[in-house]
Structure 1
Amino acid sequence: MELYHHGIKGQKWGVRRYQYADGTYTPAGRKRYGVSQNASRMERMASTMEMRVKDCVNTARTQVTGRQYVDGYLKKGTTFSRIQTSKDFENFAFYATYKKADSDKYMGLFGKNLMTRANYDAKQAEKQANASGSEADLVTATALRDKANSMKVYQLKLETVKKLKVPSDENASDITARLLKEKEFKQNLEASIADSKEKMRRPTQQVLFKQAENALKKDPTTLTASEKVAIYKALNLSLTNHNAQEVAAQSRFYAELSKKGYNALLDYNDKDYSSYHAKRPMIVFDTDSVRLQSVTETNPKVVDKLYMRYNAERIAKEVGANTIGYVSKLGNKTVSECSAYMERKMSDYLS
């Protein structure tokens, strides 16, 4: 009793002599099995279309909606714009955009908000100092007033030194779900989402955080696709927080993304949940992938002009429905009280 095995020279596992990798026949296979050339061509076309149709649809959805249905790429040499109150580019994950319309919107809305927020903080401190008569409160108020009076807003331009890869929602959600199996990461993420829920009070944000909290109660291995996305987007919104637990969760998340070759994320808060509604706001966590190109002090007149333009659009889009409520609340207040109220509302709204 003997067993013989005859192979073909150069043969490899999974490679057939009469078929392509997708299962359709080679010319030799068509001849051997009596399959017409037209039939084989149709089979191959159908197979190719079947493999790519999902990617084609998701690519189109990404382009139309601006959301991240497929992995995306930003070419080397892409210029990011960032608005901040410091001239320095700090070496940690940063928020920026590469779209001109977004750059103008941030200069107007966020630039104005930075100035207004500093003035509001100074007014509150002065009010506290006047009420208490405390020397410590007076020192604090003086410092905040000096800060508000000397406040300057800068636009930083950053250029990518290599191609950036951005994960699809599906891939980012899967990575997040796998990390939930780590007890420490899950605890840190839960704390981060709870903190964000207290700070971000817009209804759409609150709904998302509630969905994520409910999903986090489940076994990570049983999560549905939509539950994974809810957790990932809640984490995405929480990336602005910086206490110890939150930084630990972010560092672990960024490290895992980096292993998969990713450098940046779509900023879903400013895309969908805050009042900015930017087209392509990004979070770049691979700071070695960019270099500082220029730093320019913004012109207050330009900031005011852009603020008037984009704030009018914002009000027309989202605040119009609440106008009567605002007017009724302001009806019996003094001019200074109205001003303080609107400044506070604007600061809360933009957050």
Structure 2
Amino acid sequence: MIVRESELMHYGVLGMKWGVRCYQNKDGSLTSKGKKHYTDDTDTYNNAEKSKNPITRHKQNLINKYLANGYSKEAAEAKAKQRMITEATVAVVGGVAIAVVGKKVATRVGQDYCDKIIKSGHEIQNVGTNSKETFKNKAFYAAINKHDKDVYSKVFPHKEQLSVKSYDGVYINSLKTNKNIKRASNNTARKVMLNMLQKDPEYKSQVLKAMNGTRYGWLDREAPEDLLKNDPKKFYDRFNQALATPQFQSSKVREKFYKELEKKGYNAIIDINDTKYTVYADLANEPTIFFGKDIVSKIKNKGLDESDINKNAAKYANQLIRKNGAKTIAMSSSSYTMIKSYLNQRKVEEYTKEHPNTSLSRKEILAR
């Protein structure tokens, strides 16, 4: 309001009257015009879902999906935007198989930059070889969605059966989260690690020593010191890969890293090894590492015998064969590895059934 010697001027909304509120009632609640004017986020989302514009509807459906999966509003919007950019690229290229790759890329982008909340009471799954494990106060990997549970329950046991000579057995452990668990994005976890290395020379020395003592899964020969200086992102990849190695566990490097993340409210990170570098890279969507005391409760566990393991592997291999058979490009290397493993196993079983007294080894049977 501007007051002058001989004038009184007031600026407002066209049609408003002195003392009459257009947007609020006397008790402070919004009028129908007010509700329309001050549309909250929920109404915006609902209106977007009902929009006649298919692009607007699609975008909001994506946002709602990510919100339902525990992402914050900002993270959900970022993932939806990236997903739509990827889909636009796919539409230009125009290929069924490429669309699958695009979806994977969008998922990876979200994992790189978006933290995620895994809600309290959510059932997750660990597959391991220790039937007595309680998961009370140790780091462990787990599948957090239906797709990954299917992958790990069918691929991991078969993989263990072929690579481990003796073990207690393979068990599918069903776990329930005891609280909302915040999973750090790769970007967040990397920043925490780099900050620790910068502020604590002793820890930095321990990390470099441990990493030089193991090259688990490394596809290059670059020294950790060079990676840290020239490519911090790849350095974190190698650091993350080495978290399960004896070198990291014996030097307490892993525990210190997890404790620092816990201070910042995190109890989980992405398993980069299975995301990028192992047979699961093209199969699993969100392999996750959990850590912290009493963050989950064990509901049940189920032991798998050799027959179960082989049947599950065969079932999954057949799924991959049917799925990849409809694509226009060759199968991924991990899918091929899984199928080849299954076919080899079947060949060995058929041969030993026909020749029960054979003295040939598995390798010799496969070479025939």
Give the TM-score of the pair, scaled to structure 2: 0.57
C-alpha deviation, 1:157, in angstroms? 0.8
The C-alpha deviation readout for 1:265-309, integer Å capped at 9, x for no partner, is 111111221011211111001242111111111243332122124
Aligned-partner SS, 2:114: coil
Matched, 1:164 2:170: no
1:81 aligns with 2:125: yes
Paired residue for 2:149, among 87, 92, 103?
Answer: 103
CA–CA distance in 2 between the matches of 1:247 and 1:108? 33
- 1:238 aligned residue (242, 254, 257): 242
Matched, 1:116 2:162: yes
- CA distance in structure 1 between the partners assigned to 2:144 and 2:365 by the alignment: 34
Which residue matches 2:256?
252
Counterpart residue number, 1:193? 211
Match of 2:296 in 1: 290
* Distance in 1, Cα, partners of 2:206 & 2:245: 12
For residues 53 and 112 of structure 1, the distance between their equivalents in structure 2, rounded to whole angstroms, comes to 40
Listed as ranges, the matches of 1:33-182 within 5 Å are 56-58=77-79, 60-61=81-82, 64-66=106-108, 67-90=111-134, 91-119=137-165, 147=166, 151-181=168-198, 182=200
Tell me the secondary structure at the aligned position of residue 288 of structure 1.
Answer: coil
Distance 1:270 1:245, change over 3 A: closer
Whether contact under 8 Å (2:112, 2:185) holds in the other structure is yes
**Partner Cα separation in structure 2 for residue 87 and residue 338 of structure 1:** 31
**Count of residue correspondences:** 243
1:101 CA displacement: 2.4
Does structure 2 conserve the Cα–Cα contact (< 8 Å) formed by 1:192 and 1:245? no
Deviation at 1:190, TM superposition (A): 1.6
Once the two structures are TM-superposed, the CA of residue 55 in structure 1 deviates from its matched residue by 7.2
Distance 2:273 2:317 in 1: 18
How many angstroms does 1:116 deviate by?
2.5
Q: Residue 280 of structure 1 corresponds to which residue in structure 2?
A: 286
Report the AA paired with residue 254 of structure 2.
Answer: Q
How far is the alpha carbon of 1:58 from its aligned partner?
A: 4.4
Q: 1:317 aligns with which of 309, 325, 332?
A: 332
Partners of 1:242 and 1:31 in 2: how far apart? 72
Over the matched positions of the two proteins, sequence identity in percent amounts to: 24
Contact 1:93 1:287 in 2 (8 A): no
Helix, strand or coil for the counterpart of 1:239? helix
CA deviations on 1:48-92 (whole Å, 9 max, x unpaired) are xxxx98873246548832433211110111111111122122431
Report if the CA contact (8 A) 1:102-1:281 is conserved: yes
2:98 corresponds to: none
CA–CA separation in structure 1 for the residues paired with 2:226 and 2:308: 45
Shift of 1:161: 0.7
Amino acid in the other structure paired with 2:299: Q
Q: 1:96 touches 1:283 (CA, 8 Å); kept in 2?
A: yes
Question: Secondary structure of 1:88's partner?
Answer: coil
Per the TM alignment, residue 108 of structure 1 is displaced from its structure 2 partner at its CA by: 2.1
Distance of 2:244 and 2:234 partners within structure 1: 17
* Structure 1 residues 53 and 100: CA distance shift in structure 2, 3 A: closer
The whole-number CA distance in structure 2 between the counterparts of 1:161 and 1:54 is: 24
CA contact (8 A) 1:112 1:303 kept: yes
Which gives a bigger RCO, structure 1 or 2 (Cα 8 Å, sep 6+)? 1
Return closer, same or farther for 1:108/1:264 CA change in 2, 3 Å cut-off: same
Q: Deviations over 1:18-38 (max 9, x none)?
A: xxxxxxxxxxxx969xxxxxx
- CA spacing shift, 1:55–1:232, aligned 2, 3 Å: farther
Which 4+ residue blocks in structure 1 deviate beyond 6 angstroms?
52-55
Distance 1:305 1:70, change over 3 A: same
Matching of residues 201-240 of structure 1 within 5 Å: 205-207=218-220, 210=222, 213-216=225-228, 218=229, 227-240=231-244
Contact 1:241 1:247 survives alignment (8 Å) = no
CA contact (8 A) 1:233 1:268 kept: yes
Q: Mark the CA change 1:109 to 1:171 in structure 2 (over 3 Å): closer, same or farther.
A: same
Output the TM-score relative to the length of structure 1. 0.59
Instruction: Output the amino acid matched with 2:306.
Output: P
Q: Which sections of structure 1, spanning at least 5 residues, go unmatched?
A: 1-29, 33-40, 42-51, 120-146, 328-333, 343-351
1:262 paired with 2:259, answer: no
Q: Residues 170, 118 of structure 1: CA spacing in aligned structure 2 closer, same or farther, 3 A cutoff?
A: closer
Equivalent position amino acid for 1:210 in 2: E
